[in-house]
């Protein structure tokens, strides 16, 4: 058996992000390329709307481990180097015409897989684009020289080895040395002595080294130029601009410190990483830098570095000629902890968050002024720390957010919210930034405006006054016995001089020619010239127009009885009727013109559907005017029909013509039409809903798309080289038209019941829209009430304090401050500080929760409404109890009652080998089971009792009217009791 896996939604986590000019177009701004596990995406910032647009998404059938943007000397575009699990280095170039990444080079050097000794984990480039170094976690490093051939195409050399046995690599970066030999810096650890010493003393003695490798371009080989032992272990390297732009060298990010180092006479410049003042964090916790970004202009440069709690610091260097004399750190702002930070030259900061949504910020200021500035010249001692006061965002303004489901800890699927369609309830995030996200299949719709109308309309259109107009001029709404015309400006108001006949319902309207309008109603056709002259064509006596099709040069109307009348616009702007009329043996139900091809004046085909379950393609060629070319039989009468052109990917060649047919049984038929012969081919079917399907042409990303309405509305659009047919998560629509105005370039105006709505679909290519509900701790498990729309969620965090413990610690710190005061002046100041300590609580969703020591746990159980996300009940467990598992159990003694059983660990330590039983902090590890009674209507739960177990409980399951509980290597059956659960039997 072979199983095929189809992903409902692509990966939302971003592991790597780089910025650069990848499209190479003269006016293009910087773009961002992100690695999402097994896919690459190109993101572009729309500076008008401030939204991030996904320009290209490409699956690469591998795992992206590292990304690097590099540019050849004097080049104008950036190339992308990819380190992956393929055992190859791959150089890509983005092709804006085909909207895809094209492979320029692919050099194989090792085995596939994420292996310790096969390069791919680290990538570093010479800032002048002359060489790349690709490295493994252990032992192997390879250098490739980049160059151009005679036709200015990128070339890549054979690999040059820089391997060293028994060496672990922590970080790698290319040093900016101007046009001298390319140099790379690595953080390395030599474990040869540690391997041969079973006592472990050698491992403690061995120091990490900062090693410089130089590529000799003349001799074409790599030498290990210099290695310097580090007193503090480092985890990251930042390259400092060199040549004419800076002093060169590296900043080493170590535990609690950052240190500037360079070759030659440069002394080390060292500055502590500032900590938050009066924080509740464990005093022994070290501080690490997790992400960095460099911004460089002709006149200045600075770095943004982010600590693991999310605080960002701006780092600047003061120089005296070529020597760095001082390093300054300034508290900038606090954003979610990131996997990567990208500063765009347009003044934006992109944060690829480690957990939760990715954020885009506008940089409003560079953090000048204020008190929280620290310098290496302040003379900090070995164990001295710098303290600052965190604040709300000042330098950054949130602009846009990209949804992320990383990390996804648990999920359930079903129609829990009673919506007649399944939802996905997912537990997402970490710590205080966690959420329960409800995913519903459908496009998220932005609502621009909703207006009540005087009655129930039956159709709506938008028209321009002139061919050169960028925006629509009128919205035309048809009622059962009237037509309402609205002008589009800063506001939408009723028009008085449009020329449309207001006393009759409209069947169709459009701009025709360069500056005329046409209105088709049941008695005739009204042609309104730009100078307000009106020509009318009247339908024959006792015959009415039932359907119409209209474009810029042609009008076709269907009379009752199955007669087709065709008109064309002549060069003088007069609408002329074709001499012959075509009679069909069934009434015409719908009709449409094909799109006008480039270089032609008129449409080539007219497609019409008849009530005898058929669709016909009619020729509009002057040689065989109104002659049928092909026919397709249908299972039921058609309701609506639309011909759409789809251009080729590269924009060359003839566009494909697609015939879309909405049927009365709720199905959408999609066919390809030969654009020479008119033959109908390649039929595809999709069921859309229980009501007849109507089709409307709209614009999405500059291309024609189709809005389909049935019992649910759908959007059929082309995005990233494939078609998407996705339902809209919105109220049901009855009729729609494309809408373009100053405020909304690609919108839709639609009617729903007695309202007129202006909407837009912005998040394209996504299968789900997301609704988020906040949680204070990391949600771990979810259980669904058997009969009511509610969910039980357990939340647990390691190295965390409960709310009770936080209050006690704040009071203790305040008390200590008050006791330290020696006189009245100090006592007044101490009371003020103590009050501030007790009352000032940072928003944990922004600044993160305080970090406790290892082995500290905080847990809670919540009852959440599946419809509103409101917490009906919340129960916090005591400090150091961690909820691990959850089950809803119906005991045979109480068949009508639903019990919530939560299995916990007590005093659990993640690495038990670190704590000896003789240690003063040692506490015996146990477990327990909490029992709650869930109310029948699902609005609360009540605590019944707590049952001790000898080991942490790992699993609970409802089994034959009892609870099956697993802990350690034991499996035990419990029944409900008055004061605790009663053990019935056990399997060891």
What pLDDT, on the 0 to 100 scale, is given for residue 815? 83
Residue 702 DSSP label? T
Residue 399: is its pLDDT beyond 60?
A: yes
Residue 342: is its pLDDT beyond 90?
A: yes
Which residues, in sequence order, are bridge partners of residue 945?
A: 931
User: Any idea what the CATH number is for the domain that residue 918 is in?
Assistant: 2.130.10.10
Burial of 535 (0-12, 13-18, 19+ CB in 10 A): middle
Q: Looking at 259, 288, 317, which one is the last position of a domain? A: 288
What pLDDT, on the 0 to 100 scale, is given for residue 918? 53
Burial of 865 (0-12, 13-18, 19+ CB in 10 A): middle
Looking at the fold, whether 880 and 952 belong to one and the same domain comes out as yes
What percent of the chain is predicted at pLDDT more than 90? Answer: 66
Q: Looking at 253, 288, 323, which one is the last position of a domain? A: 288
Residue 637: inside a domain: no
Residue 737: is its pLDDT beyond 80?
A: yes
Rounded to an integer, what distance in angstroms lies between the CA atom of residue 353 and that of residue 340? 7
Is the CB of residue 118 less than 8 Å from the CB of residue 84? no
- pLDDT (mean) for 332-342: 96
What pLDDT, on the 0 to 100 scale, is given for residue 899? 95
Looking at the fold, whether 962 and 821 belong to one and the same domain comes out as no
pLDDT classification of 839: cutoffs 50, 70, 90: confident
Q: How many residues does the chain have?
A: 988
Residue 188: inside a domain: yes
pLDDT tens-place string over residues 126-162:
999 999 999 999 999 999 999 999 888 999 999 999 9
Q: Which domain range does residue 915 map to?
A: 776-800+850-987
Residue 946: inside a domain: yes
Of 145, 143, 105, the residue nearest 128 (C-alpha): 145
- Provide φ and ψ at 526, rounded to 5°: -110, 115
Beta carbons within 8 Å of 329's beta carbon, 6+ residues apart: 258, 271, 273, 274, 313, 314, 315, 373, 374, 375, 386
Is the CB of residue 885 less than 8 Å from the CB of residue 953? yes
Residue 9: is its pLDDT beyond 90?
A: no
Looking at the fold, whether 106 and 210 belong to one and the same domain comes out as yes
Rounded to an integer, what distance in angstroms lies between the CA atom of residue 661 and that of residue 731? 23
Q: How far is CA 321 from CA 194, 248, 271, 325, 496, in A?
A: 42, 12, 21, 10, 74
Q: For the chain, what percentages of helix, strand and coil (3-state, to nearest 5) are there?
A: 5, 50, 45
pLDDT tens-place string over residues 659-670:
999 999 999 999
Looking at the fold, whether 826 and 931 belong to one and the same domain comes out as no
Residue 436: inside a domain: no
Residue 914: is its pLDDT beyond 60?
A: no
Is the CB of residue 336 less than 8 Å from the CB of residue 290? no
Looking at the fold, whether 838 and 880 belong to one and the same domain comes out as no
Q: Is the model more confident about 545 or about 8?
A: 545
- Provide φ and ψ at 547, rounded to 5°: -140, 160
Rounded to an integer, what distance in angstroms lies between the CA atom of residue 9 and that of residue 466? 43
Task: Evaluate the omega torsion of the peptide bond into residue 407 and state whether it is cis, within 30 degrees of 0.
Answer: yes
Looking at the fold, whether 46 and 93 belong to one and the same domain comes out as yes
Residue 265: is its pLDDT beyond 60?
A: yes
Residue 920: is its pLDDT beyond 60?
A: no
pLDDT classification of 883: cutoffs 50, 70, 90: very high
Query: Please, where are the H alpha helices in 793-924?
Result: 803-820, 824-839, 844-847
What pLDDT, on the 0 to 100 scale, is given for residue 912? 64
Looking at the fold, whether 130 and 275 belong to one and the same domain comes out as yes
Sign of CA dihedral 479, 485, 488, 492: negative
What pLDDT, on the 0 to 100 scale, is given for residue 915? 58
Residue 642: is its pLDDT beyond 60?
A: yes
Residue 11: inside a domain: no
Place of tokens 């919506």: 419
What pLDDT, on the 0 to 100 scale, is given for residue 933? 95
Q: How far is CA 271 from CA 261, 325, 330, in A?
A: 12, 12, 11
Looking at the fold, whether 120 and 206 belong to one and the same domain comes out as yes
pLDDT tens-place string over residues 593-611:
998 888 788 899 999 999 9
Rounded to an integer, what distance in angstroms lies between the CA atom of residue 579 and that of residue 80? 63
Count H helices and E strands in the chain, helices first.
5, 77
Element (H, E) at 205: helix 201-205
Q: Is the model more confident about 688 or about 987?
A: 688
What pLDDT, on the 0 to 100 scale, is given for residue 652? 66
Looking at the fold, whether 839 and 966 belong to one and the same domain comes out as no
| 594: its two tokens | 């094909």
Q: Out of 393-397, 413-417, 496-500, which region has the weakest mean confidence (pLDDT)? A: 496-500
What pLDDT, on the 0 to 100 scale, is given for residue 819? 81
Which residues, in sequence order, are bridge partners of residue 747?
A: 739
Residue 216: is its pLDDT beyond 90?
A: yes
What pLDDT, on the 0 to 100 scale, is given for residue 298? 84
Rounded to an integer, what distance in angstroms lies between the CA atom of residue 972 and that of residue 281? 39
- Provide φ and ψ at 389, rounded to 5°: -105, 115
Residue 255: inside a domain: yes
Looking at the fold, whether 865 and 931 belong to one and the same domain comes out as yes
Of 334, 412, 492, 449, the residue nearest 847 (C-alpha): 334
What percent of the chain is predicted at pLDDT more than 70? Answer: 98
Say how many domains are in the chain. Answer: 3
What pLDDT, on the 0 to 100 scale, is given for residue 163? 94
pLDDT tens-place string over residues 931-985:
999 998 888 999 999 999 999 999 999 999 999 999 999 999 999 999 999 999 9
Residue 686: inside a domain: no
Place of tokens 């609704």: 771
Of 408, 444, 442, the residue nearest 425 (C-alpha): 408
Is the CB of residue 134 less than 8 Å from the CB of residue 141? yes
Sign of CA dihedral 211, 212, 218, 220: positive
> Quick one: residue 448, left, alpha or beta (phi over 0 = left, psi -120 to 50 = alpha)?
alpha
Rounded to an integer, what distance in angstroms lies between the CA atom of residue 846 and that of residue 431? 11
Looking at the fold, whether 781 and 844 belong to one and the same domain comes out as no
Q: Looking at 821, 848, 875, which one is the last position of a domain? A: 848
What are all long-range contacts of 551-554, with beta carbons under 8 Å and residues at least 24 apart?
A: 551/510, 551/512, 551/593, 551/596, 551/603, 552/467, 552/510, 552/511, 552/512, 552/513, 552/596, 553/512, 553/513, 553/596, 553/601, 553/602, 553/603, 554/593, 554/602, 554/603, 554/620
- pLDDT (mean) for 896-915: 85
| 460: its two tokens | 């709506």
Residue 289: is its pLDDT beyond 70?
A: yes
Residue 237: inside a domain: yes
Tell me the Cα Rg of the chain: 35
Residue 988: is its pLDDT beyond 80?
A: no
Residue 473: is its pLDDT beyond 80?
A: yes
Q: Out of 226-240, 641-655, 847-861, which region has the weakest mean confidence (pLDDT)? A: 641-655
Looking at the fold, whether 794 and 812 belong to one and the same domain comes out as no
Average pLDDT in the chain: 91
Q: Is the model more confident about 816 or about 772?
A: 772
- pLDDT (mean) for 417-424: 86
pLDDT classification of 649: cutoffs 50, 70, 90: low
């Amino acid at each position: 058996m072979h199983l095929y896996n189809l992903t409902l939604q692509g990966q939302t986590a971003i592991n790597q992000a780089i910025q650069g000019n990848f499209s190479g177009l003269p006016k293009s701004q910087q773009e961002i390329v992100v690695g999402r596990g097994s896919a690459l995406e190109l993101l572009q910032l729309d500076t008008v709307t401030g939204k991030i647009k996904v320009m290209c998404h490409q699956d690469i059938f591998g795992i992206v481990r590292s990304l690097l943007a590099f540019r050849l000397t004097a080049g104008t575009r950036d190339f992308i180097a990819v380190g992956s699990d393929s055992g190859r280095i791959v150089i890509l170039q983005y092709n804006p015409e085909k909207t895809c990444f094209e492979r320029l080079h692919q050099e194989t050097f090792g085995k596939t897989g994420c292996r310790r000794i096969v390069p791919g984990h680290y990538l570093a480039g010479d800032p002048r684009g002359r060489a790349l170094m690709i490295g493994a976690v252990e032992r192997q490093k390879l250098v490739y020289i980049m160059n151009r051939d005679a036709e200015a195409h990128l070339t890549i050399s054979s690999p040059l080895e820089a391997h060293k046995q028994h060496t672990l690599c922590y970080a790698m970066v290319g040093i900016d040395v101007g046009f001298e030999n390319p140099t790379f810096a690595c953080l390395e650890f030599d474990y040869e002595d540690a391997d041969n010493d079973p006592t472990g003393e050698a491992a403690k003695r061995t120091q990490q080294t900062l090693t410089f490798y130089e590529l000799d371009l003349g001799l074409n080989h790599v030498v290990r130029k210099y290695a310097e032992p580090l007193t503090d272990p480092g985890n990251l390297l930042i390259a400092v601009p060199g040549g004419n732009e800076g002093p060169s060298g590296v900043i080493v990010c170590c535990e609690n410190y950052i240190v500037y180092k360079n070759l030659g006479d440069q002394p080390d410049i060292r500055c502590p990483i500032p900590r938050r003042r009066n924080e509740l964090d464990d005093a022994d916790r070290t501080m690490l830098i997790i992400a960095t970004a460099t911004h460089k202009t002709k006149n200045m440069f600075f770095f943004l570095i982010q600590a693991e709690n999310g605080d960002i610091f701006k780092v600047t260097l003061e120089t005296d000629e070529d020597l760095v004399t001082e390093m300054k750190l300034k508290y900038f702002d606090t954003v979610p902890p990131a996997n990567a930070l990208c500063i765009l030259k347009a003044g934006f900061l992109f944060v690829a968050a480690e957990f939760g949504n990715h954020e885009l910020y506008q940089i409003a200021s560079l953090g000048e002024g204020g008190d929280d500035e620290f310098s290496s010249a302040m003379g900090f001692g070995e164990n001295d720390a710098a303290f600052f006061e965190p604040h709300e965002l000042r330098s950054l303004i949130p602009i846009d957010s990209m949804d992320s489901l990383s990390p996804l800890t648990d999920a359930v699927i079903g129609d829990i919210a009673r919506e007649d369609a399944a939802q996905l309830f997912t537990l997402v995030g970490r710590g205080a930034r966690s959420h329960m996200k409800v995913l519903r299949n459908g496009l998220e719709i932005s609502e621009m405006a909703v207006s009540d109308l005087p009655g129930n309309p039956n159709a709506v259109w938008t028209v321009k006054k002139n061919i050169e107009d960028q925006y629509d001029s009128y919205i035309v709404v048809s009622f059962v016995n009237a037509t309402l015309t609205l002008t589009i400006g800063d506001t939408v108001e009723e028009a008085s001089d449009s020329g449309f006949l207001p006393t009759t319902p409209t069947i169709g309207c459009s701009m025709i020619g360069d500056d005329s309008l046409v209105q088709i109603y049941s008695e005739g056709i009204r042609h309104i010239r730009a100078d307000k002259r009106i020509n009318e064509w009247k339908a024959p006596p006792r015959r009415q127009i039932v359907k119409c099709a209209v474009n810029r040069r042609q009008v076709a109307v269907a009379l009752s009885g199955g007669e087709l009348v065709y008109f064309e616009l002549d060069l003088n702007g007069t609408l002329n009727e074709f001499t012959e009329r075509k009679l069909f043996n069934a009434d015409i139900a719908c009709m449409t013109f094909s799109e006008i091809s480039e270089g032609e004046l008129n449409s080539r085909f007219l497609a019409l559907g008849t009530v005898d379950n058929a669709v016909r393609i009619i020729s509009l060629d002057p040689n065989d005017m109104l002659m049928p070319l092909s026919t397709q039989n249908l299972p039921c009468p058609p309701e609506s029909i639309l011909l759409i052109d789809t251009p080729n990917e590269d924009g060359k060649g003839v566009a494909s013509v697609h015939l879309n047919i909405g049927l009365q049984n709720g199905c959408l038929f999609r066919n390809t039409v030969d654009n020479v012969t008119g033959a109908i081919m390649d039929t595809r079917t999709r069921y859309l809903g229980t009501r007849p399907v109507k089709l409307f042409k709209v614009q999405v990303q500059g291309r024609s798309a189709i809005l389909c309405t049935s019992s649910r509305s759908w959007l059929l659009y082309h995005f990233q080289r494939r078609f998407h047919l996705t339902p809209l998560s919105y109220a049901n629509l009855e009729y729609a038209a494309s809408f373009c105005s100053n405020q909304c370039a690609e919108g839709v105006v639609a009617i729903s019941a007695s309202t007129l709505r202006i909407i837009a679909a912005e998040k394209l290519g996504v299968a789900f829209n997301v609704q988020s509900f906040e949680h204070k701790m990391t949600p771990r498990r979810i259980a669904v009430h058997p009969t009511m729309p509610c969910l039980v969620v357990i939340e647990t965090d390691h190295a965390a304090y409960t709310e009770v413990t936080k209050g006690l610690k704040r009071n203790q710190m305040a008390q200590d401050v008050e006791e330290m005061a020696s006189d009245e002046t100090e006592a007044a100041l101490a009371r003020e500080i103590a009050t501030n300590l007790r009352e000032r609580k940072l928003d944990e969703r922004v600044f993160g929760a305080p970090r406790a020591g290892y082995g500290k746990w905080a847990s809670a159980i919540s009852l959440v409404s599946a419809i509103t996300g409101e917490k009906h009940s919340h129960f916090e467990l005591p400090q150091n109890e961690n909820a691990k598992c959850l089950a809803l159990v119906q005991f045979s003694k109480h068949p009508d009652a639903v019990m919530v059983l939560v299995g916990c660990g007590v005093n659990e330590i993640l690495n038990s080998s670190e704590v000896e039983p003789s240690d003063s902090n040692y506490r015996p590890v146990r477990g327990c089971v909490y029992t709650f009674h869930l109310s029948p209507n699902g609005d609360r739960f009540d605590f019944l009792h707590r049952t001790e177990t000898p080991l942490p409980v790992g699993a609970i399951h409802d089994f034959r009217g009892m609870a099956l509980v697993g802990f350690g290597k034991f499996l035990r059956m419990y029944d409900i009791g008055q004061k605790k659960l009663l053990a019935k039997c056990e399997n060891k």
